[in-house]
């Protein structure tokens, strides 16, 4: 597809400096971009490439001051990174609009209902009484179990498995290999040392504008719902256990795990490889540093780190002190020697 700078500026409400008729057909990183590509500059560390890149059009921040002339057409916006993301989303939307209809072979139960402009890829399985909203896309090899509801404009990527009775909202993206609604880890210990499985009869509810990365697992509730609230963003390779709640616009990085019945508030930020025990509360706006082990509730707005995790600034002070331990040990030995010398002189 071909886009002139004038059209790009219109989409992102930008101001053009240079040739408004400059045309791009693809995207490129500023350090590698070639003629006919669109790039952006948001990080000052890459400023040097602005003057050497072959990109035809570059999006930059309003406040950026040029140190020397550039050959590319510039489009100035308040936030270059956000503007570039808007363009990528628009491009992806255009590409996905080309997908529609039902490919064969696929299995779609007679009781399935779906809206306008739905795409169902080859080898997909759509079970009984499934409801799919307008403009949603179900890619090849996806499994949609009985009684599942999927809202409008949602995208279910290849190989996703959504078990029975789960609910997916509008504008939800679920990436390849993710499993939604598998059984929670519920086993009752028995007197003979064995474990009896506790049936998991709840479901998973994913609200609007949620994005879930590849190969993430979200377990269904024992009773009730495991809940992912609107605007939450989950990375790849995350485990969400039964009856967990993740709040609005909370973000969680890869390889993190949340144990059963824990409630995470709105706007929390959870780093990679974080482990969170069950039955605790993570408050609104809390921040958990990567590789932390959270064993107790975190107050709203608090930042924690470490394993077991504790208050972030206190942890930094402890780390600073621990680095000085060899020096402190040396000073203590010197003081001990001085005290011993003074005692001997008195004697």
Active site positions, annotated: 242
**Which run of H or E residues covers position 281?**
strand 281-282
| Polymer length in residues for the chain | 347
3 three-state secondary structure: strand
- Give the whole-angstrom CA distance, residue 157 versus residue 215: 11
CA atoms within 13 A on the CB side of 344: 6
Give, in degrees to the nearest 5, the angle at Cα 203 between 202 and 209. 150
Q: Tell me which residue of 308, 247, 311, 254 sits closest to 281, measured CA to CA.
A: 247
| Residues 257/260/263/267 CA torsion (nearest 10 deg) | 20
Can you point out the beta strands (E) in 62-136? 73-77, 101-102, 107-108, 113-114, 119-120, 125-126, 131-132
Largest CA distance in the chain: 102
Across the strands, what pairs with 155? 137, 173
- Give the whole-angstrom CA distance, residue 331 versus residue 337: 10
290 three-state secondary structure: coil
């Amino acid at each position: 597809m071909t886009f002139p700078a004038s059209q790009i500026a219109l989409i992102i409400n930008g101001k053009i400096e240079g040739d408004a008729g400059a045309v791009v057909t693809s995207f490129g990183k500023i350090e590698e971009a070639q003629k006919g590509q669109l790039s952006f500059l948001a990080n000052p560390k890459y400023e040097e490439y602005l003057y050497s890149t072959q990109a035809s059009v570059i999006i930059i921040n309003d406040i950026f001051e040029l140190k020397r002339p550039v050959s590319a057409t510039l489009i100035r916006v308040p936030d270059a990174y956000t503007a570039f993301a808007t363009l990528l989303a628009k491009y992806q939307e255009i590409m996905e609009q080309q997908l529609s209809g039902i490919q064969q072979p696929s299995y779609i139960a007679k009781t399935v209902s779906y809206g306008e402009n739905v795409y169902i890829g080859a080898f997909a399985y759509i079970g009984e009484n499934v409801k799919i909203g307008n403009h949603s896309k179900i890619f090849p090899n996806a499994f949609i179990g009985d009684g599942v509801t999927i809202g409008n404009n949602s995208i279910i990527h290849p190989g996703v498995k959504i078990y029975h009775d789960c609910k997916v909202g509008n504008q939800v993206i679920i990436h390849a290999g993710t499993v939604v609604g598998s059984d929670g880890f519920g086993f009752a210990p028995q007197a003979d040392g064995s474990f009896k499985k506790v049936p998991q009869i709840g479901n998973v509810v994913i609200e609007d504008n949620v994005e879930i990365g590849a190969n993430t697992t979200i377990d269904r509730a024992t009773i009730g719902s495991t809940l992912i609230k609107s605007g939450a963003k989950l990375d790849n390779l995350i485990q969400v256990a039964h009856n967990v709640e993740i709040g609005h616009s909370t973000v969680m990085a890869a390889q993190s795990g949340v144990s059963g019945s824990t409630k995470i508030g709105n706007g929390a930020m959870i780093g990679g490889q974080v482990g969170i025990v069950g039955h605790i509360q993570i408050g609104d706006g809390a921040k958990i540093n990567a590789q932390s082990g959270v064993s107790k509730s975190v107050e709203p707005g608090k930042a924690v780190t470490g394993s077991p995790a504790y208050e972030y600034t206190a942890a930094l002070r402890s780390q600073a002190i621990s680095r000085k331990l060899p020096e402190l040990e040396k000073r203590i030995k010197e003081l001990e020697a001085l005290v011993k010398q003074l005692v001997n002189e008195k004697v």
